[in-house]
Amino acid sequence: MLAGYVLRLAGKNMLRHRLRTGLTLAGIAIAIVSFGLLRTVVDSWYAGAELGAAGRLVTRNAASLSFSLPVTYAERIRRAPGVRAVTWASWFGGIYIDEKHFFSQLAVDASSYLNLYPEYLLSPEQSAAFQHDRRGAVVGRKLAAKYGFKIGDTVPLQGTLFPGNWSFVVRGIYRGADDKTDENQFLVHWDYVNETIKNTLPAQAERVGAFIVDIREPTQAAAVSAAIDSSFRNSLAETRTETQKAFQLGFIALVDTILLAIQTVAYVVVLIIMAVMANTMAMAARERTREYATLKALGFRDGFVAMLILGESLSLSLAGGALGILLTYPAANAFHSATRDLFLIFQVQPLTVLLQLAAALLIGVSAALAPMLSSRRVQIVDGLRAVT
Amino acid sequence: MTALIQIRELSKTYRRGNQPVPVLLGIDLEIAEGDYVSLMGPSGSGKSTLLNLIAGIDKPSSGTLLIGGIDIAALGENELAAWRAANVGFVFQFYNLMPVLNAFENVELPLLLTNLSKAERREHVEVALAMVGLADRMDHHPNELSGGQQQRVAIARALITDPTLIVADEPTGDLDRTSADDVLNLLDRLNGELGKTIVMVTHDPKCAARARRRVHLEKGVLLADADAEH
Ligand SMILES: Nc1ncnc2c1ncn2[C@@H]1O[C@H](COP(=O)(O)OP(=O)(O)O)[C@@H](O)[C@H]1O
Ligand SMILES: [Mg+2]
C-alpha cells in the first residue's frame, strides 16, 4: 500500500514545479535520444560493412572453400524467400606467362554475373561483345593497365585447376563505380570452361565454386542466409551462406577510431545528464527538508522518506527515458533520410533500447543517492526548523 | 495515580561545532493524563526543546523521561517512530501540511501506518474533518486554505490516530486573533470532550490562559507553576 502511495506522491511532487520538471524531462529525453542515435550510427556502420555495398550474400560449400557445389543449386537458391537474383563463379586459377605474374581469374555466368555487380561499369557494346564470344574476357582497368591488355588482345593462360592451355580474348575493360570497387578482376565464361572440362575433368563439370545471391532487403541478410542453408541441409553438399564483406581493412582502422569517439560521446552525454539530474534532485529534496521531517515526526520511517526520493527520481528519469526511446525512432528515420548515402540500413537495435532503459534507470538511481543519504542524516528537529 | 509524563533531572545540551550549548538544565516535571499544560517562557528559553523531547523527536542528554511508563529515550529509531505514530499528535506553528496533498489526504496520512482499510480510513477522516469544521474543504489543497483552516486540518491530522498526547508548538503563533480563537477552542474540546493530554508551547499569556496549568521556563530551568491549581 505504501509503495503505491510513494508513487502517487512522486507523481504529485513532479507536477509541483512544472517548468523545472518539464526541462528536466526534456533534458533526459534529449540525452536518451542522442545516446540511442549515436549507438545506432555505430551499429549501422558495422551492419553496413557486413552487408557490403550491394547487400550480396555468398553461398559456398559448408565443408570447405575449396569444395564446389552443383550448378543446379542455383534454381533452389533463387526460390528462397527474399532472393532477387543468383549468379555463380568458380576460381579459374590460370597462370599467365609464369607464376610471378599472378592475378586471379573467375569463371562466371556471363548472362547474369554483371547484373549483380552494377559497380563494374562496362559500356553496352563491350558487354554485348563479351556475351557473344565464348572465349571472351572482361578485365578490370587496373589489371589491364598493369599488363597492357587492350580490347581484342589474346591472353594465354595455363590451366592449373582445369588442365590445358587456354586462351581468352579481351572483349571489355570495366571501371569501378567508386574507390572501393575492385579493378583487378579477370572474368571468363563459366559455360566455356564447363563445356571444355566435360572431357578432360568430368568430375568437376556442372559444378561451381560459389553462388552470389542478391537479396531484396539488406536487413534480412541473416534470415535469407539461414533459409538458403536450411534448404540444403542433409543434401549431398551442404551450404554456408555469408554476407560479402566489401570492406577494406585499412579503412576499418580509421573508422574504428571515429566510432570509438562517437561511442564515447554517447556515454558522456549520459554522464552529463546524470550530473544535471543529481543537482535537480538535490534541490528538490532540500526544498522538502521540512516535509520529510514532518513525515518522520508523524511516525514514518527513514526508509519511507528514502523511497519517496527514489520514487520521485525514478519517475522523472524513466518518464524522460521512455519519451527519449519513443523519440529515437522518428529521430533515427529523419537522420537516415538526411544521410541517405552514408548508411545502407539505419535501424535502432533492441540492445540499444535496452541500454537506453538502463541509462534512464542509472540516471534516476544515481540522482537519488545523495539526497537519500542526507535525508537519513538530518535530525527531525533540525529538519523541522529548516526554512523553505 | 502515576502521571502520564514523568520527567526527572532532564538535561539537553546541543553542540555547535566543538562548543557545547546547554539548553535544558535538569528539568523535573510531571503531567497527569488528561491535563492541558502550557509551556511559557521567553524566546530561546528551551520550550520547543522540552516539547520535542516529550514528543519523542529528540533525545535527552541525561535524565529520565517516562511517558505512559515507557522510557522513550531508550527506544531505537524505528521503535520510537512507531511509538510516535501510535501515541503522539503533532500541531506545528506553520501547520506543516504536505502541499501536494489535499485536506483529506493530509489528515489520512498517519492512518497509512495503521491496518485500517480504505473505507475505514475514509470514515475516520470525514469524522475528524467534520469535527474541525472543514467537512466541505476535503479536496482543497493547503494553498487554497487560510492559515486558520490549515491549522484546523493539522489538528484533525493530530487527532486522527486517537493518540493520548497532543503536542502543540506555538499553534497560534502565525494566526490572527479570530483564527487563533478557533484553534484554541478546538484544543479545549480535544482536552475537555476527548480527554486528550495536551502540552502547548506559547509565549502569549492570553493563549496560555486557556490551559489548565501553566509552566514557566527561564534559561533552561523550570520555575514554579504560575498558579496554585496543583
Ligand atoms: N538543533 C539545535 N542545535 C543547536 N542549538 C539549538 C538547537 N535547537 C535549539 N537550539 C538552541 O537552544 C536554545 C533553545 O531553543 P528552543 O528550545 O527552540 O527555544 P524556545 O522554543 O523557547 O524559543 C536556543 O538558544 C537555540 O538556539
Ligand atoms: Mg520555540
- Backbone torsions φ then ψ of B197, nearest 5 degrees: -80, 125
Residues A299-317: what's their mean pLDDT? 94
Q: Distance of CA A346 to CAs A48, A238, B95, Å?
A: 9, 33, 58
The percent of residues in chain B predicted with pLDDT above 90, rounded, is 90
Which helix H or strand E contains A37, and what residues bound it? helix A18-51
Is the predicted pLDDT of residue A344 greater than 70, yes or no?
A: no
Give me ligand 2 centre to Cα A48, in Å.
72
- Nearest neighbour of A2 by CB, restricted to B83, B92, B112: B112
pLDDT at A13: 85
Confirm or reject contact between B98 and chain A (CB < 8 A).
Answer: yes
pLDDT at B180: 94
Residues A120-147: what's their mean pLDDT? 93
pLDDT at B230: 43
pLDDT at A241: 83
User: pTM of the prediction?
Assistant: 0.70
Is the predicted pLDDT of residue B1 greater than 60, yes or no?
A: no
Distance from CA of A317 to the nearest CA of B (A): 20
The percent of residues in chain A predicted with pLDDT above 70, rounded, is 91
Q: How far is Cα A248 from Cα A257, in angstroms, rounded to an integer?
A: 15
Is 3.20.20.30 the CATH number for B34-56+77-227? no
Atom number in ligand 1 closest to CA B46: 17
Cell numbers describing residue A170: 579481351
pLDDT at B229: 47
The average confidence (pLDDT) of chain A is 87
Task: List the domain boundaries for chain B.
Answer: 34-56+77-227
Is the Cβ–Cβ distance between A242 and A52 less than 8 Å?
Answer: no
Cell numbers describing residue A256: 574504428
Q: Is the CB of B45 under 6 A from ligand 1?
A: yes
Residues B24-44: what's their mean pLDDT? 95
Each residue's pLDDT tens digit, B55-78:
999 999 999 999 999 999 999 999
- Give the model's confidence band at B167: pLDDT under 50 very low, under 70 low, under 90 confident, else very high: very high
The percent of residues in chain B predicted with pLDDT above 70, rounded, is 97
The DSSP 8-state label assigned to residue A26 in this structure reads: H
pLDDT at A44: 79
pLDDT at A63: 80
Is the predicted pLDDT of residue A5 greater than 90, yes or no?
A: no
pLDDT at A249: 33
Is the Cβ–Cβ distance between A321 and A23 less than 8 Å?
Answer: no
Which one of B10, B15, B21 would you pick to mutate in the ligand 1 pocket, going by the greatest count of ligand atoms within 8 A of its CB? B21
Cell numbers describing residue A8: 502517487
Residues A218-229: what's their mean pLDDT? 83
Q: Is the CB of B205 under 6 A from ligand 1?
A: no
- Give the model's confidence band at A248: pLDDT under 50 very low, under 70 low, under 90 confident, else very high: very low
Nearest CA to ligand 1 atom 20: B44
Residue A329: CB atoms within 10 A of its CB come to 14
How much is the ipTM here?
0.95
Residues B84-92: what's their mean pLDDT? 96
Residues B181-189: what's their mean pLDDT? 95
Q: Is the CB of B16 under 6 A from ligand 1?
A: yes
Q: How far is Cα A33 from Cα A330, in angstroms, rounded to an integer?
A: 10
What's the first-to-final CA gap in chain A, in angstroms?
29
Environment class of A301 (CB within 10 Å of its CB; exposed 0-12, middle 13-18, buried 19+): middle
Q: How far is Cα B38 from Cα B40, in angstroms, rounded to an integer?
A: 6
pLDDT at A255: 63
Q: How far is Cα B180 from Cα B173, in angstroms, rounded to an integer?
A: 8
The average confidence (pLDDT) of chain B is 93
pLDDT at B192: 94
pLDDT at B160: 96
pLDDT at A190: 95
- Give the model's confidence band at B22: pLDDT under 50 very low, under 70 low, under 90 confident, else very high: very high
Confirm or reject contact between B55 and chain A (CB < 8 A).
Answer: yes
Lowest-confidence pick of A98-102, A273-277, A339-343, B60-64: A339-343
Q: How far is Cα A266 from Cα A40, in angstroms, rounded to an integer?
A: 10
pLDDT at A341: 54
- Give the model's confidence band at A342: pLDDT under 50 very low, under 70 low, under 90 confident, else very high: low
Q: How far is Cα B165 from Cα B68, in angstroms, rounded to an integer?
A: 10
User: Contacts of residue B78 in chain A, CB cutoff 8 Å?
Assistant: 301
Residues A78-102: what's their mean pLDDT? 88
Strands (DSSP E) along chain A, which ranges? 56-61, 69-70, 83-91, 106-108, 120-121, 136-140, 154-158, 165-176, 186-189, 207-208, 210-215, 239-243
Each residue's pLDDT tens digit, A171-196:
999 998 876 677 889 999 999 999 99
Each residue's pLDDT tens digit, B191-224:
999 999 999 999 889 899 999 999 999 999 998 6
- Give the model's confidence band at A86: pLDDT under 50 very low, under 70 low, under 90 confident, else very high: very high
Distance from CA of B153 to the nearest CA of A (A): 14
